[in-house]
Structure 1
Amino acid sequence: MKRVFVTGGASGLGRALAERYAADGWRVCIADVHDARGAETLAALRNSGAEAEFVHCDVTREEDLIAARDFVEARWGGVDVVINNAGVAGAGAIDAVTIDDWKWIIDINLLGVVRGCRVFTPLFKRQGGGHFVNVASMAGFMDVPMMSSYNATKAAVISLSETMQVELAEWKIGVTVVCPSFFKTNLTDSFRSPEPRLRDITQRLLDRPGPSAADVAEDVFRAVHKGGFYVLPHAEGRRALLTKRLLPRALWARMLAKQTRAFTRDNRPGGGG
């Protein structure tokens, strides 16, 4: 029976991934900082017939990830897929977001993934293989205005994953990087911004019709099974990325600058919504 470990596995995409793997008969270990959510998700997984475990894990603490790795190795003899999914969001102008908020988002979104990869790579090497799934975002490609800290961390996760794919190939360790656009999840629960209106705008984007967390999880599951690298679940994101790659940078930047001006105008108090 194959084994999967998921950070941020108690809710949102992490829970959807845990449920998808459980549905295929995998042993599932979810890790999260939210113990109550973890217990509820664990109960749901077990009630569905899955062999599942929950460990408290803060991805800003390498010792927590080491303890989680040691747990799955002792419990199940190892792990086949590690999904570095835990993440947070923030927004604000470059001159408004504090350095403390930059450090906070980097520590979770980027270094949380780095820690997961650092800790589990030696186990994969001992096993003779394994597969990392690193959850990034289309924001890592797309220069989304007013989200420089979030964009930068997700771009770094994409670069990290691309590097790991090359570096770890000789060890038979696969890598997949997931780059969804906005979809309904609880990302705004931990959202930070110096401008409260940006939380509401982000929530409206998350609530738009489109692929669900379960749909994204299905795309991830299939990509890992096939050994795929990029997972771009949203058609609008794929179109935007193609447009960015085809247009001269100056033209692309002018387009985004125009959108940013409209964005700022329409979403200021008393603006057009």
Structure 2
Amino acid sequence: MKSFTDKVAAITGAGSGMGRTLAQSLARRGCHLALSDVNEQGLAETAALLQGSAVEVTTQRVDVADREAIYAWADQVVRDHGKVNLIFNNAGVGLGATVEGMRLEDFEWLMNINFWGVVHGTRAFLPHLKAAGEGHVVNTSSVFGLIGVPSQSAYNAAKFAVRGFTESLRQELDILRCGVSATSVHPGGIKTNIARAGRVDPSIATLGADPKSANLKFEKNFITSAESAAETILRGVAKDKRRVLVGPDAYMIDLMVRLLPALYQRLTVAVTRKHI
């Protein structure tokens, strides 16, 4: 998709962070927007920021873990805008917990949003993208979809799954030559509220982390702005990239995993033990 002008993009998690900045970046490019989030106040704030832009903007409260709600929203987007060309499955949550200590309810909560939300969003919008004749599926994985780290087993599981799901989808679309493509996005530390809003289980104390301050300490490693991340993602989509790395830390981690696929785990364990 070389140009976003007069296209229609649907974005989940548009009430804050990268979802909001993606909406703003697309609006500047003349792309009409269908925005959703479970946080209605944040969604309204995003819509207010877009007032005065020369594009049509619609909003809808959607819980991406609710399959029926996503399918209903996809149909509504087409009724409202006449078509849809892009779906950004961007909504996500965080969870810090050990495998042994993690509550099953928290694991299911994260997977329902971070993985099944992507699956539902992709499947709900894909027929509409094909019908438009030109489309793109943009699924947000993470650098934690490239590397495993302690206390992030649930997040790793979801983001690795998103990566595999999207890479398989991309290959199927290449075979079909249906005018639709797909990109897997791997952000590093992006300055959004995902860490602050994430859940933390007391079990991470066994790994040497303080459950009360873990999210704030983790957030200090975020070095890339949401605005910069949005621009990087859109450039990648315009170039039809299969994988988009976002931020210098993402490139560093990708290189480390390629060069040291087993050794990086030993290094991570050593650092964690020293911290404990």
| TM-score with structure 2 setting the length | 0.90
Where in structure 2 are the equivalents of 1:232-247 lying within 5 Å? 232-247=245-260
CA drift at 1:52: 1.0
Matched-pair contact (CA < 8 Å) for 2:195–2:218: no
User: What's the counterpart of residue 141 of structure 1?
Assistant: 146
Paired letter, 1:211: T
Paired letter, 1:227: D
Paired letter, 1:180: P
Q: Distance in 2 between matches of 1:209 and 1:111?
A: 26
User: What's the counterpart of residue 223 of structure 1?
Assistant: 236
Matched-pair contact (CA < 8 Å) for 1:92–1:198: no
Moved more, 74-83 or 228-237: 228-237
Matched-pair contact (CA < 8 Å) for 1:30–1:55: yes
1:191 corresponds to which of 172, 177, 198: 198
Instruction: Determine if the alignment matches structure 1 residue 181 to structure 2 residue 194.
Output: no
1:42 corresponds to which of 30, 40, 47: 47
Q: Distance in 1 between matches of 2:171 and 2:45?
A: 38
User: What's the counterpart of residue 202 of structure 1?
Assistant: 215
Where in structure 2 are the equivalents of 1:252-267 lying within 5 Å? 252-263=264-275, 265=276
Q: Distance in 1 between matches of 2:100 and 2:165?
A: 27
Structure 1 residues 230 and 199, CA, compared in 2 at 3 Å: closer, same or farther?
A: farther
1:52 corresponds to which of 54, 57, 60: 57
Moved more, 81-90 or 124-133: 124-133
Where in structure 2 are the equivalents of 1:19-168 lying within 5 Å? 19-168=24-173
State the SS of the aligned residue for 2:191: coil
Instruction: Determine if the alignment matches structure 1 residue 172 to structure 2 residue 179.
Output: yes
State the SS of the aligned residue for 1:168: helix
Q: Distance in 2 between matches of 1:172 and 1:143?
A: 34
CA drift at 1:69: 1.2
Q: Distance in 1 between matches of 2:89 and 2:214?
A: 26
Structure 1 residues 261 and 160, CA, compared in 2 at 3 Å: closer, same or farther?
A: same
* Stretches of 4+ aligned residues off by more than 3 angstroms: 47-50
Q: Distance in 2 between matches of 1:40 and 1:199?
A: 29
Paired letter, 1:252: Y
Moved more, 188-197 or 138-147: 188-197
Paired letter, 2:189: F
Q: Distance in 2 between matches of 1:242 and 1:6?
A: 30
Matched-pair contact (CA < 8 Å) for 1:182–1:205: no
Unaligned runs of 5+ in 2: 1-5, 205-209
Paired letter, 2:271: Q
Structure 1 residues 262 and 78, CA, compared in 2 at 3 Å: closer, same or farther?
A: farther
CA drift at 1:199: 6.0
Per-residue CA deviations over 1:36-59 (Å, capped at 9, x if unaligned) read: 111121121123444211111110
Matched-pair contact (CA < 8 Å) for 2:87–2:136: yes
CA drift at 1:145: 1.4
CA drift at 1:125: 2.4
Matched-pair contact (CA < 8 Å) for 2:198–2:215: no
State the SS of the aligned residue for 2:199: coil
State the SS of the aligned residue for 2:190: coil
Paired letter, 2:184: V
Alignment size in residue pairs: 263
Identity of aligned residues (%): 34
CA drift at 1:208: 4.0
Matched-pair contact (CA < 8 Å) for 2:71–2:120: no
| TM-score with structure 1 setting the length | 0.91
State the SS of the aligned residue for 1:177: strand
Matched-pair contact (CA < 8 Å) for 1:35–1:56: yes
